[in-house]
Structure formats: C-alpha cells, structure tokens
Structure 1
Amino acid sequence: MHAVLRKNQFFVQQQLGLLEMGKHFDIFDPLTQQPIIECRELEHRHFTRLLRILNWEALRPLHAELRTPEGKRVLRLQKCFSLLAVKIAIYDGNGGLVGYCQRMHQRADSFRILDPDERFIGELHSDQNNFLYRFVQNGQELACVSDHPWSLPQELRNHHHAYLLELNPGLAPESPLRLLILAALLARQMHSTNLA
C-alpha cells in the first residue's frame, strides 16, 4: 500500500467543468492543503458518454485511477456495463484485487464493501445526523464523511462539491479497509449527480 493511503484525513474536491464526460477529483491533505492524490475517469467512449448524458449512471462502465501528483498509481476502480447491479472491483497500485463495493438497490444511498472472495466486510451508508456518510463494520464506525464547514480547515471551507473523509485513527496503517473505504466513497460519487 502506498504511504499516502496511511493518512487518516482526506479532503476530496470534485472538479467541475462544462459538459463534463468524466468525473475527476483532487484529494488534499487537510493539514497542509497540498494535493496528494488525483482521481481520473478513463476511456470515455461514445456509448459511455450517451449513458452519462441520459443520466443512467448505474448502467455505464467505469474505469478510474487514483495516482499521486508524481504519477504513481495507488488505486484503480473498474466496472463493466451492467443492467442488474453496480459492483465495482477495487485494485491496489500493483493491480492486485483488494475487494468490491456494491450498490444496494433497496437502499440507493448505501454501498456494501466485500473482500476479494465477495464476503461482506462492512457498509458505507448515509447518515441523517451530522455526517453525510459513515462506514460501519460489525457496529463499529471506522470512517465518516462530512461537508460541514466546521469540520474543514479555514482555507478549504469555501469549496463547493467537496467533503472530508476521516478514518478512525485505530484503523491499522496497512489495513486494506483504507483502500476500500476511499474507493467506495468515490464510486458512490461517480454513480450519482451529487453526494447528498
């Protein structure tokens, strides 16, 4: 696992563009406000563009890579065209399968996290109180996502389409859950028109 993924806080900002055909994100270290990861969707073919224009996000294929500003790949998300379910494969920087995130049809705002053998690990779900999302495993909260200004550094409070991912400090630095949680959060954003 790349060292940048051992951090406990990630400030995620979506790039906005006119008639954008792919969703791109810049991820910063909230303490230094320095960019640490770039997330870019790849291969925007005509069929994929049509599905995006028609707002059929769940159907379209997905291929996104997360790289450091120096170009080192740290994570990859991939999904084929699907009519039935959104299940996105998550790979580490070396191409090894880490697990899957799967959107639940009965709860469109919820993603299940699965290990490489497709066993349930935990769930990223919406929260009705102070946070946008929480990641829960066996009743224990391992991460939360917030867009509230008071949870962000002063220099970052005026950004739109941005949020703060905070991982539980007790999560082991080498835990694959770090990759899975970040990937599930980005996957959820890529398959919707907004986060909330």
Structure 2
Amino acid sequence: MSELVNSNLFLVKEHVGLFKAANNYDIYDPASGEMIMQCREPSLGLLTKLLRFTDFKRMTPFDVQISTPGGERIVRIQRGISLFMSKVEVRDQDNVVIGGFQQRMLSIGGKFDVLDKDYQLLCKLEGQWTGWDFYFRNGKQDLAHVSKKWTGLGREMFTSADNYVLEIYQDVPKDDPVRKLILAAVMCIDMVLKE
C-alpha cells in the first residue's frame, strides 16, 4: 500500500452530485488514467447528513478513509465538531496516529499546520486567497503543490464536484510519513477551508 503513496503525481476527482452529504473522491495516476485509491466517508450520522446542507457544513465532523480500490485502508482522517478552528487527526492503515492538521487563526486564503504524531510542526499548507493554489512548505523548501484542475463551466456551476492535481516533489523521501499527511491534507483543503 505504501508504494501507492510513493508516487509524485495524483489526480483527485470529487464525485459529482447535486445533493450529496458525504465527501467522496477517486484518486488516479495521471500517467495511466488508472484509479489507484479511493476516498470515502462511509459512516455519516443522520444529524451530520442534515447539517451538511446548511450553513453549518464547515463545522460538521468527518471520518474520511483513503483506501485501495480493493478496500485496504491507507489513511484515516478524522475531525470532531469544529466551532472555530479545525483540528484534524490522521491515522495509518493500523489506526495508529501519524499526525494531524491545525488550522491557523486569521489566515487569508487558508492555512494550516501539518503536524507529526507528537504534534510537532512538519510543514505548513499555504494558499492564495484569490484562487485554488496551495503549497506545502517546510521553511523555504516546497514539498508539494496542489492546484484545481478546471473541468468546464457547466460542471462547475451545477455541481459541487472539484478536481485537484497533487504533485509531491521528488525531494520528499519515499515511505516518509509526510507523504500520507500531504495526501490526507488535500482532502481537508476542501472540507476545512473551501466548503
């Protein structure tokens, strides 16, 4: 499973839906077009589903799982109810905490800290207020870049589906836990900062 996370380029496609409560994505290898991972929110409670259609959507809890198409879990992303600042926990395939994210106060464009299992800063996610362009930075070194892939005016206007391209730079070592955290953070950009 970890070899999937060792790729450097991913295409993340959100499922199309006019009235959908769950966050569901498919993750593709852009070179082959093959779906290599799926991201699902399998156990939504009724109250959470109802709140997802209100202005309280950004405050609702989530439990998102990234897995292989065969169902083997790679990463689990969890957040409880969020009143002001989101704090997200990330677990590996064995349900062991590998890190998390802490949203930063007073950030224009969207920012949060990517933390290791001891809640020490690994890198920061920084975005542009005017668009959908985010970088994972460790000091002055860029680790990864996420951008929104345009899918056409009709689809963007009438659905809530988004497509993203994640590029993890080659300087990030293979099998480094930060790769799983970066992949998990891409799902959180939409759920925490952009909804």
Bin for the TM-score computed over the shorter chain? 0.7 to 0.9
Once the two structures are superposed, residues 65-108 of structure 1 have per-residue CA deviations (whole angstroms, 9 ceiling, x without a partner) of 01111111111001112324211100111211110112223116
Gaps of 5+ in 2: 157-161
Match of 1:34 in 2: 34
Task: Work out whether residues 8 and 168 of structure 1, in 8 Å CA contact, stay in contact via their aligned partners in 2.
Answer: yes
Task: Work out whether residues 2 and 175 of structure 2, in 8 Å CA contact, stay in contact via their aligned partners in 1.
Answer: no
1:6 CA drift (Å): 0.6
Cα distance in 2 between the residues matched to 1:3 and 1:87? 28
1:23 CA drift (Å): 1.3
SS in 2 for 1:82: coil
Please tell me the residue identity of whatever aligns with 1:163.
Y
1:148 CA drift (Å): 5.3
Once the two structures are superposed, residues 97-131 of structure 1 have per-residue CA deviations (whole angstroms, 9 ceiling, x without a partner) of 11011222311611211111111111111147997
Match of 1:171 in 2: 172
Cα distance in 2 between the residues matched to 1:18 and 1:148? 19
For the pair 1:143 / 2:161, whether they are aligned, the reply is no
Percent of matched pairs sharing the same residue:
28
Aligned residues: 187
For the pair 1:120 / 2:106, whether they are aligned, the reply is no
What's the TM-score, normalizing by structure 1? 0.86
Moved over 3 A (4+): 127-131, 157-160
1:191 CA drift (Å): 2.7
Structure 1 vs Structure 2 CA RMSD:
2.2
Match of 2:11 in 1: 11
What's the TM-score, normalizing by structure 2? 0.87
Task: Work out whether residues 104 and 110 of structure 1, in 8 Å CA contact, stay in contact via their aligned partners in 2.
Answer: yes
Task: Work out whether residues 67 and 74 of structure 1, in 8 Å CA contact, stay in contact via their aligned partners in 2.
Answer: yes
Task: Work out whether residues 58 and 86 of structure 1, in 8 Å CA contact, stay in contact via their aligned partners in 2.
Answer: no
Cα distance in 1 between the residues matched to 2:60 and 2:115? 21
